[in-house]
Amino acid sequence: MPEAARPVVTHRIPASADFVADCARRIVEACRGQLPDLSPLLIVLPSPALAPTLRQALAAAAGCTVLLPRIATLAQLAAAANVDGQPDSQRQLTLYRLLRERGWFADSALWEICAELIALFDELNERALGLPEDEETLLSRLEQAYDARGSQLLRFEAEVVFRLWRAEASGPPGRHAAMAMALAAMAGEAAAPLFMLCEGELRPVEAAFCEAWATRQAVTVFQPQRDTAEAPVMRALNFVWPPGTGAPLPLASRADAARAALAESPLKGRLRLIGASGLEAEAAAVAAEVRRWLAAGRTAIALVAADRVAARRARALLERDGILVQDETGWKLSTTRAAALVDAWLEVVAADAYHRDLLDLVKSPFLFGDLAEEMRQAGLVQLEDGLARHNLAYGLGRYETVLARENGYADAVGVLKRVAEARRSMPRGSASVADWLAGLERALDTLGALPGLAGDEAGATLLELLRLRREELVAVPARLTFSEWREWLNRELENAAFVDRSIDSPLVMTHLAATRLRCFDAAVLIGADRDNLAPALSRAVFSNQAVRSDLGLSLPAEAAARLRDDLAGLIASCDEVTATWQTMRGDEANLLCPELSLLSVLHACAWGDDLAAKPGLAPAVEAMAGRGTAMPRPAAPQRVPLRLSASAYASLMACPYQFFARRMLGLAEAEEVREALEKRDYGEFVHRILLRFHAVRPQLSGQPDEMLATELETISREVFAPEIEDNFLEHAWLARWLECVPGYIAWQKSREAAGWRYAGGELVRERSLPVAEGEAVLHGRLDRLDRRADGGEAVLDYKTQDAQGLKRRLADPGEDVQLACYVLLQGERVEEAGYVALEGTKPVELSLPEVQEMARAQGVRLAAAIDALRAGAALPAHGVDAACAWCEMRGLCRRDYHEELPS
């Protein structure tokens, strides 16, 4: 039988680190007669993270073993009552369908608008507000608030919000309504006193629950209050951020008052503000603070991540030293490998298996879990090779047709067949979300990815999310196109978090709101700048303050006050707090957030110290500061090849480490599909054209120039034709070459007049060289060989680059090894060797002097180098700038971080 409602008793307790313990003492005191059995009581907390602290505090206050009461948040109570309400995913799709039907906005903006409207409706529900009964009343209130009459924009905003709000309100109850109903039902059966700990003023849902409970049982509410705090730290902070809504005194007056009230600063030694020069410096400063605290015996440490990027970097530094961090906030699911697999698959579907997407997909560790590892690798290697070799950029069907024609691609064809089958299991055209999700699951199954995903923590979270959404949306018939559904899915993955629960550490990464009422030994606030540590932004819908105030929605001032309370709570409940931020972002200054700037200034005025501190450096960081990494100097005598090409030798001379990485470790870049002609392709085409031309026209003298030019042009067009068919823009490269044609014919004729005759092109040559272990072999391919009637020979190398660069290259002929190697390979009849620069309208010849002497010197040098390397000589990364500029090993040798410069 319900009793008459009794008043809800509210205790406003001074905000301090002991708030939870204080509440526990008061609860035990109130229920002392029931000890040791407190199990009938219900204690409601604002956050589940406070439960362990409260349990300990209750036991300590009781001074004996107690049967603990039920401790839960309101959300947990509602969930336990099994009343879920309409899922947000259904609300979102309903709103999306309505917005799409009405055609009010561009399609690309619809999901974002849905999110905004749901946030607005949630706030209206949470605050137990509603909108006016009719659209005209809402419009007139908006006009009044904006002080604008007859605005079409306002009318539009009112119409959109009102109609969608009515549509939603007429549907099944949402999350908040369901929660309110469940809590009301629970309160209707209240059989024991209720105690509620709050973070601040009661929220409407909390107030309603307390009032309903109070009709049957006693209700006691505990609220922290800053303005009655006695602790010196909170008193000092109250001078900085005066509680309440009244206009604060001027800063100088507050500083005077603070000094008068507290002779010594209670913040000195407790709060440090560290401005770091950049991301790495900030992460290093955070890691150094944590190490310092750990060394001092502190155990409960919070990393409060206002800037997630810097926080993650700091975490990586700590984990490198074996200091693990328990991440309460988690990772966005979209950043996991599992989500990357889904993304790669959807890219393959969207863009007809664009080769890069296809390779990304096939490289996923989750794929083809049913195949042996060697088969997976063989399929991948063959696919990479086949696509590059045939320059296949798009088209799943085309890939399969081309590779199936050739030997050696059986595994790649198997991969392509499975991908094609998976593609067939996805819906075509438009489908309901549930059907799209079912198709995705079938495709992942066909690709052999499900077992791998299920065995991975993030993968399992992703599968669970997909399953849950499919169940929630199975009865929602709205059909989405592929791109609409994909955007929906991307947002789902972006909004879902993956929390790694395998780590249990006293070092916790969390966010500022989650520190409310909690106690830590120390905390570091990462990213305390004005962008990252700013009050929550007001929403895009109804952003005008007067409108928000009129409708009873939250105001920016509330968010600012909440931020100050949170900062004050954090500083007061930790023995030490360090706030870090980056003083520069790119070229721009990055300022400390206004709240902490204010604190710093007031502290300086009151106690002569702005609390700024220098970043500490951990020993490892100190040792490395300003130095860089050592230049790598590997030695691998057993891997030094005895057979090498002229270009490998050139690489060895340019930089021994580059030779080591490319030729000894086999890390040379794999050939890739080229979607547009590059300079090197152009060079290859020119070589091919001239080879074909001279095969039919070894001698030009006596033939009319026009006829020769026409022949050369015809061959040129034939060679370029397949590329132009694929990409019309390649015409530019052809035109560039055709400009050279008349000049080339004139140059060839002038060589013939000097007695030289074309004697062959693309000639493969090799030569043995004596070395300590027997012989080494140098091999290479000569672009072109000319011969005179007396047997004298000339080695020519075509270059599609300008003559000036080649001239510089030959300025130190001892360092340019290519021509000398060709001379060595061709033999002693060579009298001339040179580059032919095919750029502009006239070829330019650049000759190597003293060709035979150069060739002999390079032969001796190469043999000596091989002997030294096979005896254990090191291969330092000391390429000169010209070599490093185009070197793909730059990331490997870390040339930009060497402590010594190349000499």
Residues interacting with ligand SF4, by CB under 6 A? 655, 657-658, 877, 879, 883-884, 887, 889-890, 893, 895
| Tokens found for residue 681 | 């392709």
The residue number with the shortest CB distance to ligand SF4 is: 879
3-class DSSP assignment, residue 274: strand
Measured from the Cβ of residue 148, the count of other Cβ atoms closer than 10 Å reads: 11
Task: Give the distance between the most distant pair of CA atoms in the chain.
Answer: 125
Q: To the nearest whole angstrom, how small is the minimum distance from the Cβ of residue 875 to ligand SF4? A: 9
Nearer to ligand SF4, 751 or 878 (CB): 878
Structure tokens, 861: 């040098």
Q: Write down the least CB distance from residue 459 to ligand SF4, Å.
A: 37
Q: How far is the CB of 874 from ligand SF4 (least distance, A)?
A: 13
Least Cβ distance, residue 815 to ligand SF4 (angstroms) = 14
Q: From 627, 631, 650, select the one nearest 876 (Cα to Cα).
A: 631
User: Phi and psi at residue 360, in whole multiples of 5°?
Assistant: -60, -45
Nearer to ligand SF4, 193 or 879 (CB): 879
Closer residue to ligand SF4 in complex, CB, 665/724: 665
In this structure, which amino acid lies at residue 195? F
Pick the closer one to ligand SF4 by CB: 453 or 650.
650
Least separation in angstroms between residue 533's CB and ligand SF4 is 40
For the chain, what percentages of helix, strand and coil (3-state, to nearest 5) are there? Answer: 55, 15, 35
The single residue listed with the structure tokens 């696509």 is 387
Q: Which is nearer to ligand SF4, 163 or 894 (CB)?
A: 894
**With b meaning 16 or more CB within 10 Å and e meaning fewer, what string describes 96-125?**
bbbbeeeebeeeeebbebbbbbbebbebbb
In the complex, minimum distance from the CB of residue 664 to ligand SF4, in angstroms, rounded to a whole number: 12
Q: Which is nearer to ligand SF4, 81 or 883 (CB)?
A: 883
Please, what is the minimum distance in Å from the beta carbon of residue 651 to ligand SF4?
8
Closer of 591 and 665 to ligand SF4 (Cβ): 665
Quote the least distance from Cβ 799 to ligand SF4, whole Å: 21
Q: Which is nearer to ligand SF4, 139 or 887 (CB)?
A: 887
- Alpha helix stretches (DSSP H) within 63-171: 74-80, 88-102, 110-126, 135-146, 152-169
Q: Is 328 helix (H, G, I), strand (E, B) or coil?
A: coil
Place of tokens 């707090």: 577
Question: What gap in Å lies between CA 877 and CA 474, rounded to an integer?
Answer: 60
Q: How far is CA 864 from CA 118, 568, 648, 873, in A?
A: 75, 72, 15, 11
Question: Which amino acid is present at 604?
Answer: A
Residue closest to 379 by CA, chosen among 317, 428, 448: 448
For ligand SF4, the closer of residues 417 and 808 by Cβ is: 808
AA identity, residue 550: D
Cα separation, 833 vs 93, whole angstroms: 73
Q: Whose Cβ is closer to ligand SF4: residue 202's or residue 889's?
A: 889
What minimum distance in Å lies between the beta carbon of 508 and ligand SF4? Answer: 41
Q: How far lies 623's CA from each of 563, 631, 757, in Å?
A: 38, 17, 66
- What distance in Å separates the CA atoms of residue 99 and residue 114, rounded to the nearest whole number? 8
User: At 462, which amino acid appears?
Assistant: L
Q: Among candidates 245, 231, 246, 248, which has minimal Cα distance to 602?
A: 248
In terms of CB distance, is 657 or 682 closer to ligand SF4?
A: 657
Nearer to ligand SF4 by C-beta: 25 or 890? 890
Contact (CB, 8 A) for 349 and 481: no
Task: Return all residues near 745 (Cβ < 8 A) that are at least 6 apart.
Answer: 700, 705, 708, 709, 712
Q: Whole-angstrom Cα distance, residue 463 to residue 192?
A: 41
Q: How far is the CB of 886 from ligand SF4 (least distance, A)?
A: 9
Q: How far is the CB of 884 from ligand SF4 (least distance, A)?
A: 3
In angstroms, give the least distance from the CB of 879 to ligand SF4: 2
CB crowding 282-312: b at 16 or more within 10 Å, else e? bbbbbbbbbbebbeeebebbbbbbbbbebbb
